Chains A and B, each alone.
Chain A
Amino acid sequence: MSNDSNVADPIDDLVDNDQPQASSFDWRSITFQGLWKNNPALVQLLGLCPLLAVTNSVTNALGLGLATLLVLVVSNLTVSLVKNWVTKEIRISVFIMIIASFVTIVQLLMNAYTYELYLSLGIFIPLIVTNCAIIGRAEAFASKNPPKEAALDGLMMGLGFAIVLVFLGAIREVLGQGTLFDGAHLLLGDWAKALKIEVFKVDQAFLLAILPPGAFIGMGFIIAGKNYIDNKIAQRQASSKPKKSVTRARVTHVN
């Protein structure tokens, strides 16, 4: 029923349409897409539920970010490997099964090696299965590209997601408790106790930053900041290189 052009990621199609897609291994474009231009958390706004729910400290954010990153890389790779043997009708369920098995592995690993972090992340580890960022990349990129590209895309998208997670976690932890990397030893082992930084001392925690509304507000500010930087760059390019700005202008216009 639906052909490929319908299900393709519309943003993916629009960017870099001045070069032929996937003819050669374009690691630079894939990296830029994942980390900045098409960042799953800031631009695609995928996987907001774990993003907003667990980012109350850097440790939690880093834990979930790493778990998601790991699942994203291997699921993208697997999906790309099996893409020729999976028929269109059953692809979504196959993708979900692949993702779910990797999430189970990650969950068991965290249960075994980072038990306290496992407890504090709770339901959000199994919920990685439903993280739209992962199924979205499997559907939009991995099922159409060779394994090497798919794995790199998973790595970069996961990294972009994890960076935003940690950034938001840092903002909320500093505002809420005045610390950074509190409890990092739960994830990284006992040596990480030395990582804890006390930025300032608070008598009363700023609970809003730790509670879910703080995540929404912080996220809004981060997205606004990204758009501000993008606008500044676009302005500078438009003013400094009038010749090149013609092609750029077309790109932004299509976007």
Chain B
Amino acid sequence: MSLLTNMFVSSPHGNLGLTTNQMMRIVAYATLPGLAAQIYFFGWGSLIQAILCISTALIAEAVVLSLREKPIRRTLSDGSAMLTGLLLALSIPPLAPWWIAVIGTVFAIIVVKQLYGGMGFNLFNPAMAGYVVLLISFPVAMTNWLPPTELLQHPMAFGDAFLAVFTGFTYDGYNLTQLKMSVDGITMATPLDHFKTEQILNYTTTEILNSPLYGEYGGTGWLEVNLAFLLGGLALLKLGIIRWHIPVAVIGSLGVCALLGITIAPDQTYPLSFSLLSGATMFAAFFIATDPVSASTTNQGRIVYGCFIGVMIYIIRIWGGYPDGIAFAVLLANMCVPLIDHYTKPVTYGHKRRREAKS
């Protein structure tokens, strides 16, 4: 029991010498470049959401643990609730109202994680399940990303962001819709969202990409955020916290799909750089899909799992109703994990594969 609670690392169980708490903390530190980039490009809202989500997560976890009569202090200090809150905060729009963060976090911690038995027993990625609950419940608020700060008409200070999150209005009395107006008075959405809407209006890719929203590669701001998450993810790989299979499979399969799309229908699909460096692609590949509890546990299985996520992200982005499909892709893949694990069971050392043994 103590082994389980203190050492929660993904297989293979090579000794990293890290406790769960240290692991979770390293993952949390690795998200910092991404968080910093989000704050730089999308304002202080991200930081407020992070604080709000983490504190809600800790409170919710403590309440459930006391109901379940489990050791509160020890379980809270493993950092998993903190990380769930942080990951959820990074996925929701920076200026979403405070109750969105609270509902999502409470659902993620209580229903998705603790009702299934707590740390290590959850079938689904708590942060993503919480995100999906929010997305299908409050579709408007959850897609209300502000355009990057440099395109904003009304620049925002920390106090403005704080007021916007908790009251819905900034210090000067602007609400979210007014804030979304860019310099030239056009309401802005995220690049993926914008692309989808314009495409329904039958614009071609080249025409759509002329908007200042897109910048050079993945959309202004979004490119840098993705690169920052990539940086953090590479650090995690270097430290051996995650293994290469899932990120490589996610990015690789998404890239292959994007290339196929460009070849077949260049004017209806996203360019490759846009596929890989916009939305939450890098965040998902390194921080969401690699969750040790809900991901596949065999090396072969991880590749299948990652490829499934990558392909599903592309399918949902192109044909789905939502602009980005990472949360849905991850949850669908979580459902397949028992099956994937069953068929990719590694052969015990010294034994032969069944097929070879037969021949």
Contacts and interface: CB of A to CB of B under 8 A. Distances in A.
Nearest to A210: B137
A207 interface: yes
B111 A207 contact: no
B140 A208 contact: no
Interface residues of B, number: 9
Interface string B130-167: 00010011111100000000000000000000000000
B141 A208 contact: no
Interface of A: 204-209, 211, 213, 217
Given A206-B137, A208-B133, 5 more contacts: A204-B138, A204-B140, A206-B138, A208-B137, A211-B136
Contacts, number: 18
Contacts of A204: 138, 140-141
A208 B132 CA distance: 10
A201 B141 CA distance: 17
B141 A207 contact: no
Contacts of B141: 204
Contacts of A207: 136-139
A207 B141 CA distance: 12
18 contacts: A204-B138, A204-B140, A204-B141, A205-B137, A206-B103, A206-B137, A206-B138, A207-B136, A207-B137, A207-B138, A207-B139, A208-B133, A208-B136, A208-B137, A209-B137, A211-B136, A213-B136, A217-B111
A213 B111 CA distance: 13
Q: Is the interface of B mostly helix, strand, loop or mixed?
A: helix
Contacts of B133: 208
Nearest to A207: B137
Contacts of A213: 136
Nearest to A224: B115
A209 B140 CA distance: 16
A217 B136 CA distance: 15
Contacts of B136: 207-208, 211, 213
What 5 pairs between A and B have smallest CB-CB spacing?
A208-B137, A207-B137, A204-B138, A206-B137, A208-B133
Contacts of B111: 217
Nearest to A211: B136
Contacts of A217: 111
A110 B76 CA distance: 55
A204 B135 CA distance: 12
A211 B137 CA distance: 9
Contacts of A206: 103, 137-138
B107 to A, nearest CB: 8
Interface string B228-272: 000000000000000000000000000000000000000000000
A4 B100 CA distance: 55
A25 to B, nearest CB: 43
A209 B139 CA distance: 14
Contacts of A211: 136
A213 B139 CA distance: 16
A209 B111 CA distance: 14
A213 B103 CA distance: 16
Contacts of A208: 133, 136-137
B68 to A, nearest CB: 13
Interface string B312-338: 000000000000000000000000000
